[in-house]
Structure 1
Amino acid sequence: MRCPACRHPALEHDPACSRCGFSLEAIAPTMGIPPMLEAPLADLSNVLSASERRAALSTIHILHQRFPQVSFAAVLFDLTPEVAPAVHAFWLFNRGSLFSAVERAGDNHGVLLLIDTPRDRAVAMIGYGLEPFVSELTLEVCLTAASLSLAKSRYGAAIEAFVRELERQLTTLLHPLPRTFGYSEDTLWADSATRTPDPSLPAHIGTEDLY
Protein backbone atom coordinates (compact mmCIF):
# COMPACT_ATOMS: atom_id res chain seq x y z
CA MET A 1 0.00 0.00 0.00
CA ARG A 2 0.92 3.67 -0.06
CA CYS A 3 0.66 6.26 2.65
CA PRO A 4 -2.68 8.04 2.11
CA ALA A 5 -1.07 11.37 3.01
CA CYS A 6 2.15 11.43 0.95
CA ARG A 7 1.75 8.32 -1.29
CA HIS A 8 5.07 6.88 -0.12
CA PRO A 9 5.15 3.04 -0.16
CA ALA A 10 4.22 1.63 3.25
CA LEU A 11 4.36 -1.81 4.83
CA GLU A 12 1.52 -3.61 6.57
CA HIS A 13 2.97 -3.43 10.08
CA ASP A 14 4.47 0.07 9.92
CA PRO A 15 3.16 2.06 12.92
CA ALA A 16 3.53 5.27 10.91
CA CYS A 17 4.69 6.43 7.49
CA SER A 18 8.48 6.45 7.37
CA ARG A 19 8.46 9.61 5.25
CA CYS A 20 5.77 11.91 6.67
CA GLY A 21 4.89 10.26 9.99
CA PHE A 22 1.22 9.80 9.10
CA SER A 23 -0.76 7.38 11.31
CA LEU A 24 -4.30 6.90 12.54
CA GLU A 25 -3.30 8.22 15.94
CA ALA A 26 -1.76 11.35 14.42
CA ILE A 27 -4.97 12.33 12.61
CA ALA A 28 -7.35 11.39 15.42
CA PRO A 29 -7.57 14.96 16.83
CA THR A 30 -8.42 16.29 13.37
CA MET A 31 -10.93 13.62 12.41
CA GLY A 32 -12.70 13.36 15.77
CA ILE A 33 -15.02 10.48 16.64
CA PRO A 34 -15.58 8.21 13.64
CA PRO A 35 -19.18 7.64 12.60
CA MET A 36 -20.75 4.22 13.07
CA LEU A 37 -21.20 2.90 9.57
CA GLU A 38 -23.33 0.00 8.43
CA ALA A 39 -22.00 -2.01 5.50
CA PRO A 40 -22.48 -2.52 2.67
CA LEU A 41 -24.08 0.90 2.09
CA ALA A 42 -23.91 3.88 4.43
CA ASP A 43 -25.63 6.98 3.05
CA LEU A 44 -24.60 9.57 5.62
CA SER A 45 -25.40 12.35 3.14
CA ASN A 46 -28.98 11.06 2.77
CA VAL A 47 -28.96 11.53 -0.99
CA LEU A 48 -30.20 8.14 -2.21
CA SER A 49 -33.86 7.51 -2.88
CA ALA A 50 -35.38 4.22 -1.74
CA SER A 51 -35.27 2.81 -5.27
CA GLU A 52 -31.66 3.91 -5.79
CA ARG A 53 -30.67 2.28 -2.54
CA ARG A 54 -32.40 -0.99 -3.47
CA ALA A 55 -30.73 -1.05 -6.88
CA ALA A 56 -27.28 -0.40 -5.41
CA LEU A 57 -27.75 -3.06 -2.72
CA SER A 58 -28.89 -5.56 -5.36
CA THR A 59 -25.74 -4.97 -7.41
CA ILE A 60 -23.55 -5.30 -4.32
CA HIS A 61 -25.36 -8.54 -3.40
CA ILE A 62 -24.54 -9.99 -6.82
CA LEU A 63 -20.87 -9.12 -6.29
CA HIS A 64 -20.85 -10.82 -2.89
CA GLN A 65 -22.50 -13.91 -4.35
CA ARG A 66 -19.89 -14.11 -7.08
CA PHE A 67 -16.97 -13.30 -4.78
CA PRO A 68 -17.98 -14.17 -1.19
CA GLN A 69 -14.43 -13.55 0.04
CA VAL A 70 -14.74 -9.84 -0.84
CA SER A 71 -16.38 -7.42 1.60
CA PHE A 72 -17.58 -4.34 -0.26
CA ALA A 73 -18.80 -1.14 1.36
CA ALA A 74 -19.92 2.16 -0.14
CA VAL A 75 -20.04 5.29 1.99
CA LEU A 76 -21.60 8.60 0.94
CA PHE A 77 -20.26 11.38 3.11
CA ASP A 78 -19.63 15.13 3.28
CA LEU A 79 -15.84 15.11 3.58
CA THR A 80 -13.87 17.80 5.34
CA PRO A 81 -12.40 19.89 2.48
CA GLU A 82 -9.10 20.42 4.30
CA VAL A 83 -8.46 16.66 4.56
CA ALA A 84 -7.44 14.65 1.51
CA PRO A 85 -10.07 12.11 0.36
CA ALA A 86 -7.50 9.29 0.61
CA VAL A 87 -6.94 10.16 4.28
CA HIS A 88 -10.69 10.14 4.89
CA ALA A 89 -10.93 6.73 3.21
CA PHE A 90 -8.09 5.33 5.32
CA TRP A 91 -9.71 6.66 8.50
CA LEU A 92 -13.17 5.25 7.71
CA PHE A 93 -11.73 1.96 6.46
CA ASN A 94 -9.97 1.41 9.78
CA ARG A 95 -12.26 3.19 12.24
CA GLY A 96 -15.72 3.07 10.68
CA SER A 97 -16.77 -0.45 11.79
CA LEU A 98 -17.28 -1.46 8.18
CA PHE A 99 -15.48 -4.77 8.50
CA SER A 100 -15.58 -7.44 11.18
CA ALA A 101 -12.99 -7.77 13.93
CA VAL A 102 -11.48 -10.85 12.28
CA GLU A 103 -10.86 -8.98 9.03
CA ARG A 104 -7.49 -7.57 9.98
CA ALA A 105 -4.24 -7.06 8.05
CA GLY A 106 -3.76 -9.83 5.47
CA ASP A 107 -7.17 -11.29 6.28
CA ASN A 108 -8.94 -8.10 5.20
CA HIS A 109 -10.45 -8.46 1.74
CA GLY A 110 -12.45 -5.28 2.00
CA VAL A 111 -13.13 -2.75 -0.73
CA LEU A 112 -14.28 0.73 0.24
CA LEU A 113 -15.85 3.20 -2.17
CA LEU A 114 -16.05 6.61 -0.51
CA ILE A 115 -18.11 9.27 -2.30
CA ASP A 116 -17.77 12.92 -1.33
CA THR A 117 -21.28 14.03 -2.28
CA PRO A 118 -20.94 17.85 -2.10
CA ARG A 119 -18.01 17.77 -4.50
CA ASP A 120 -19.03 14.76 -6.66
CA ARG A 121 -15.72 12.97 -6.22
CA ALA A 122 -14.81 9.50 -5.06
CA VAL A 123 -11.87 7.49 -3.78
CA ALA A 124 -11.44 3.75 -3.32
CA MET A 125 -9.35 1.65 -0.95
CA ILE A 126 -8.71 -2.06 -0.50
CA GLY A 127 -7.57 -4.21 2.42
CA TYR A 128 -4.14 -5.81 2.63
CA GLY A 129 -5.54 -9.20 1.69
CA LEU A 130 -6.50 -7.98 -1.79
CA GLU A 131 -3.30 -6.11 -2.58
CA PRO A 132 -1.56 -9.10 -4.26
CA PHE A 133 -4.44 -9.22 -6.76
CA VAL A 134 -5.95 -5.73 -7.08
CA SER A 135 -3.66 -2.93 -8.17
CA GLU A 136 -4.11 0.83 -7.96
CA LEU A 137 -4.71 0.80 -11.71
CA THR A 138 -7.57 -1.66 -11.24
CA LEU A 139 -9.21 0.67 -8.73
CA GLU A 140 -8.72 3.61 -11.11
CA VAL A 141 -10.51 1.67 -13.85
CA CYS A 142 -13.43 1.06 -11.48
CA LEU A 143 -13.53 4.73 -10.46
CA THR A 144 -13.47 5.76 -14.12
CA ALA A 145 -16.48 3.52 -14.75
CA ALA A 146 -18.35 5.42 -12.04
CA SER A 147 -17.17 8.89 -13.06
CA LEU A 148 -19.86 9.70 -15.64
CA SER A 149 -22.72 9.06 -13.21
CA LEU A 150 -20.81 10.75 -10.42
CA ALA A 151 -20.37 13.92 -12.50
CA LYS A 152 -24.17 14.07 -12.82
CA SER A 153 -24.67 13.51 -9.07
CA ARG A 154 -26.28 10.14 -9.78
CA TYR A 155 -24.74 8.46 -6.76
CA GLY A 156 -26.67 5.21 -6.86
CA ALA A 157 -25.76 4.68 -10.51
CA ALA A 158 -22.14 5.53 -9.70
CA ILE A 159 -22.03 2.82 -7.02
CA GLU A 160 -23.57 0.29 -9.41
CA ALA A 161 -21.07 1.15 -12.17
CA PHE A 162 -18.13 0.84 -9.78
CA VAL A 163 -19.32 -2.53 -8.45
CA ARG A 164 -20.02 -3.99 -11.89
CA GLU A 165 -16.58 -2.96 -13.11
CA LEU A 166 -15.01 -4.37 -9.95
CA GLU A 167 -16.74 -7.68 -10.63
CA ARG A 168 -15.41 -7.67 -14.20
CA GLN A 169 -11.91 -6.84 -13.04
CA LEU A 170 -11.91 -9.57 -10.37
CA THR A 171 -13.15 -12.11 -12.89
CA THR A 172 -10.34 -11.17 -15.27
CA LEU A 173 -7.70 -11.18 -12.53
CA LEU A 174 -8.68 -14.45 -10.88
CA HIS A 175 -9.40 -16.55 -13.98
CA PRO A 176 -5.73 -17.48 -14.66
CA LEU A 177 -4.82 -18.16 -11.02
CA PRO A 178 -5.41 -21.96 -11.07
CA ARG A 179 -2.94 -22.36 -13.93
CA THR A 180 -0.52 -19.89 -12.34
CA PHE A 181 -0.32 -22.09 -9.24
CA GLY A 182 -0.18 -25.35 -11.21
CA TYR A 183 -3.81 -26.43 -10.91
CA SER A 184 -4.73 -27.28 -14.47
CA GLU A 185 -8.29 -28.43 -15.01
CA ASP A 186 -7.28 -30.07 -18.27
CA THR A 187 -5.24 -32.67 -16.45
CA LEU A 188 -7.16 -32.88 -13.20
CA TRP A 189 -10.63 -33.86 -14.37
CA ALA A 190 -12.06 -36.38 -16.80
CA ASP A 191 -13.91 -34.95 -19.77
CA SER A 192 -17.52 -34.49 -18.62
CA ALA A 193 -18.99 -35.30 -22.03
CA THR A 194 -17.11 -38.45 -22.94
CA ARG A 195 -16.40 -39.60 -19.37
CA THR A 196 -12.87 -40.45 -20.49
CA PRO A 197 -10.71 -40.64 -17.38
CA ASP A 198 -7.38 -38.88 -17.10
CA PRO A 199 -4.64 -41.47 -17.84
CA SER A 200 -2.50 -39.98 -15.09
CA LEU A 201 -5.00 -41.08 -12.42
CA PRO A 202 -4.58 -44.45 -10.67
CA ALA A 203 -6.34 -47.28 -12.51
CA HIS A 204 -8.55 -48.19 -9.56
CA ILE A 205 -10.25 -44.75 -9.59
CA GLY A 206 -13.30 -44.83 -11.80
CA THR A 207 -14.91 -41.89 -13.55
CA GLU A 208 -17.74 -41.88 -11.01
CA ASP A 209 -15.22 -41.20 -8.24
CA LEU A 210 -14.18 -37.90 -9.76
CA TYR A 211 -17.41 -35.99 -9.05
Structure 2
Amino acid sequence: MNFPRTSTLLGAMPRLSPGVSDTTGKLTSGETGKLRKRVTAIQRRFPQLVLQVVMRAMPEDHPFSLYAFWLFNAGAFAGEGRRGANNHAILLLIDPARQESALIPGYGLEPLLKPEALGHLLDLAGPVWEAGLWMEGIERVLAGLEKLLESVGAPEETGAINGEF
Protein backbone atom coordinates (compact mmCIF):
# COMPACT_ATOMS: atom_id res chain seq x y z
CA MET A 1 0.00 0.00 0.00
CA ASN A 2 1.33 3.44 -0.85
CA PHE A 3 0.38 6.89 0.39
CA PRO A 4 -1.83 7.94 -2.56
CA ARG A 5 -3.86 4.74 -2.18
CA THR A 6 -4.22 5.20 1.58
CA SER A 7 -5.35 8.81 1.05
CA THR A 8 -7.98 7.65 -1.40
CA LEU A 9 -9.10 4.97 1.04
CA LEU A 10 -9.01 6.99 4.27
CA GLY A 11 -9.84 10.48 3.03
CA ALA A 12 -8.78 13.91 4.21
CA MET A 13 -6.33 14.56 6.99
CA PRO A 14 -8.07 15.36 10.30
CA ARG A 15 -7.36 18.67 11.98
CA LEU A 16 -4.65 18.27 14.61
CA SER A 17 -3.16 20.65 17.16
CA PRO A 18 0.60 21.05 16.68
CA GLY A 19 2.78 19.16 19.14
CA VAL A 20 0.03 17.42 21.08
CA SER A 21 -3.43 16.58 19.79
CA ASP A 22 -5.94 14.68 21.92
CA THR A 23 -9.42 14.21 20.49
CA THR A 24 -10.19 11.42 22.98
CA GLY A 25 -10.37 13.62 26.07
CA LYS A 26 -8.12 11.21 27.98
CA LEU A 27 -5.69 14.01 28.84
CA THR A 28 -6.63 16.97 31.00
CA SER A 29 -5.88 20.46 29.71
CA GLY A 30 -3.09 20.69 32.30
CA GLU A 31 -1.55 17.44 31.07
CA THR A 32 -1.80 18.60 27.46
CA GLY A 33 -0.03 21.85 28.37
CA LYS A 34 2.69 19.97 30.23
CA LEU A 35 3.21 17.64 27.27
CA ARG A 36 3.43 20.59 24.86
CA LYS A 37 6.19 22.08 27.02
CA ARG A 38 8.01 18.72 27.05
CA VAL A 39 7.72 18.37 23.26
CA THR A 40 9.02 21.94 22.82
CA ALA A 41 11.97 21.23 25.13
CA ILE A 42 12.92 18.10 23.18
CA GLN A 43 12.66 19.97 19.88
CA ARG A 44 14.87 22.74 21.30
CA ARG A 45 17.54 20.13 22.11
CA PHE A 46 17.21 18.57 18.65
CA PRO A 47 16.44 21.52 16.35
CA GLN A 48 15.81 19.47 13.20
CA LEU A 49 13.27 17.25 15.00
CA VAL A 50 9.52 17.75 14.72
CA LEU A 51 7.66 15.71 17.33
CA GLN A 52 3.90 15.12 17.19
CA VAL A 53 1.83 13.27 19.80
CA VAL A 54 -1.67 12.24 18.69
CA MET A 55 -4.34 10.54 20.79
CA ARG A 56 -7.23 9.66 18.54
CA ALA A 57 -9.82 6.92 18.16
CA MET A 58 -9.35 5.26 14.78
CA PRO A 59 -12.21 3.40 13.10
CA GLU A 60 -12.12 -0.39 13.22
CA ASP A 61 -12.50 -0.60 9.41
CA HIS A 62 -8.77 -0.97 8.72
CA PRO A 63 -5.59 -2.05 10.52
CA PHE A 64 -4.13 0.45 12.97
CA SER A 65 -0.80 0.36 11.12
CA LEU A 66 -2.54 1.64 7.98
CA TYR A 67 -3.97 4.60 9.88
CA ALA A 68 -0.56 5.34 11.43
CA PHE A 69 1.16 5.29 8.01
CA TRP A 70 -1.56 7.51 6.52
CA LEU A 71 -1.58 10.01 9.41
CA PHE A 72 2.20 10.34 9.41
CA ASN A 73 2.36 10.99 5.68
CA ALA A 74 -0.78 13.12 5.38
CA GLY A 75 0.28 15.18 8.39
CA ALA A 76 3.60 16.24 6.82
CA PHE A 77 4.65 17.21 10.35
CA ALA A 78 8.17 18.20 9.27
CA GLY A 79 6.71 20.49 6.59
CA GLU A 80 6.07 20.01 2.90
CA GLY A 81 9.64 21.03 2.04
CA ARG A 82 11.19 18.40 4.32
CA ARG A 83 10.32 15.09 2.72
CA GLY A 84 12.37 11.94 2.22
CA ALA A 85 15.83 12.03 3.81
CA ASN A 86 15.11 15.53 5.17
CA ASN A 87 12.09 14.35 7.14
CA HIS A 88 13.08 14.35 10.81
CA ALA A 89 9.57 14.09 12.22
CA ILE A 90 8.43 11.54 14.77
CA LEU A 91 4.78 10.65 15.34
CA LEU A 92 3.56 9.03 18.54
CA LEU A 93 0.04 7.82 17.79
CA ILE A 94 -2.13 6.34 20.54
CA ASP A 95 -5.63 4.94 20.18
CA PRO A 96 -6.95 4.26 23.69
CA ALA A 97 -10.11 2.56 22.40
CA ARG A 98 -8.23 0.06 20.25
CA GLN A 99 -5.42 -0.15 22.81
CA GLU A 100 -2.83 0.30 20.08
CA SER A 101 0.05 2.70 19.59
CA ALA A 102 2.77 3.47 17.07
CA LEU A 103 5.99 5.45 17.08
CA ILE A 104 6.90 6.41 13.53
CA PRO A 105 10.13 8.17 12.51
CA GLY A 106 10.51 10.18 9.32
CA TYR A 107 12.65 8.74 6.55
CA GLY A 108 15.62 10.85 7.64
CA LEU A 109 15.55 9.20 11.07
CA GLU A 110 14.78 5.61 10.04
CA PRO A 111 18.46 4.61 9.67
CA LEU A 112 19.14 5.86 13.21
CA LEU A 113 16.02 4.75 15.08
CA LYS A 114 15.61 1.02 14.73
CA PRO A 115 12.11 -0.52 14.95
CA GLU A 116 13.20 -2.68 17.90
CA ALA A 117 14.24 0.37 19.93
CA LEU A 118 11.02 2.23 19.13
CA GLY A 119 8.99 -0.86 19.98
CA HIS A 120 10.78 -1.09 23.31
CA LEU A 121 9.73 2.49 24.13
CA LEU A 122 6.10 1.60 23.46
CA ASP A 123 6.49 -1.54 25.58
CA LEU A 124 7.65 0.64 28.50
CA ALA A 125 4.40 2.58 28.31
CA GLY A 126 2.11 -0.42 27.79
CA PRO A 127 1.49 -1.36 31.43
CA VAL A 128 0.56 2.17 32.52
CA TRP A 129 -1.58 2.72 29.42
CA GLU A 130 -3.45 -0.50 30.24
CA ALA A 131 -4.17 1.08 33.64
CA GLY A 132 -5.49 4.23 31.93
CA LEU A 133 -2.50 6.37 32.93
CA TRP A 134 -2.06 8.02 29.54
CA MET A 135 0.11 10.94 30.63
CA GLU A 136 2.54 8.69 32.51
CA GLY A 137 2.90 6.40 29.49
CA ILE A 138 3.53 9.28 27.12
CA GLU A 139 6.12 10.69 29.51
CA ARG A 140 7.85 7.29 29.57
CA VAL A 141 7.97 7.19 25.78
CA LEU A 142 9.27 10.77 25.52
CA ALA A 143 11.95 10.20 28.16
CA GLY A 144 13.13 7.07 26.40
CA LEU A 145 12.97 8.77 23.01
CA GLU A 146 15.10 11.63 24.27
CA LYS A 147 17.75 9.18 25.53
CA LEU A 148 17.61 7.31 22.23
CA LEU A 149 18.07 10.55 20.28
CA GLU A 150 21.04 11.44 22.49
CA SER A 151 22.65 8.10 21.74
CA VAL A 152 22.27 8.42 17.97
CA GLY A 153 22.91 12.16 17.74
CA ALA A 154 26.65 11.96 18.38
CA PRO A 155 28.15 9.75 15.66
CA GLU A 156 30.04 11.67 12.98
CA GLU A 157 28.36 9.76 10.14
CA THR A 158 25.00 11.32 11.03
CA GLY A 159 26.36 14.83 10.61
CA ALA A 160 25.16 15.53 14.12
CA ILE A 161 26.72 18.19 16.29
CA ASN A 162 25.45 19.15 19.74
CA GLY A 163 22.20 17.24 19.53
CA GLU A 164 21.48 18.00 15.86
CA PHE A 165 20.93 15.21 13.37
Q: Give the TM interval when normalised to the shorter protein.
A: 0.7 to 0.9
Structure 2 residue 65 is the aligned partner of structure 1 residue 86 = yes
| Structure 1 CA distance for aligned equivalents of residues 78 and 152 of structure 2 | 23
TM-score, scaled to structure 2 = 0.86
Partner of 2:161: none
- When the two structures are aligned, how many residues end up with a matched partner? 158
Q: Flag structure 1 segments of 5+ consecutive residues without an equivalent.
A: 1-21, 182-211
Q: Which has the larger radius of gyration?
A: 1
Q: Per-residue CA shift, 1:129-161, capped at 9, x if unaligned?
A: 001211111211211222122111222222211
SS at match of 2:108: helix
Contact 1:115 1:123 in 2 (8 A): yes
| Structure 1 CA distance for aligned equivalents of residues 71 and 105 of structure 2 | 12
| Structure 1 CA distance for aligned equivalents of residues 78 and 17 of structure 2 | 9
Partner of 1:188: none
RMSD: 1.8
Deviation for aligned residue 1:36: 2.0
Deviation for aligned residue 1:114: 0.5
Partner of 1:155: 134
TM superposition outliers: structure 1 runs of 4+ over 3 Å: none
Describe how 1:10-159 pairs up with structure 2 within 5 A.
Answer: 22-159=1-138
Partner of 1:6: none
TM-score, scaled to structure 1 = 0.69
Q: Flag structure 2 segments of 5+ consecutive residues without an equivalent.
A: 159-165
Q: Which amino acid aligns with 2:138?
A: I
SS at match of 1:171: helix
Deviation for aligned residue 1:98: 2.9
When residues 173 and 123 of structure 1 are mapped into structure 2, their CA distance, relative to the original with a 3 A threshold, is same
The alignment-based identity, stated in percent, is 26
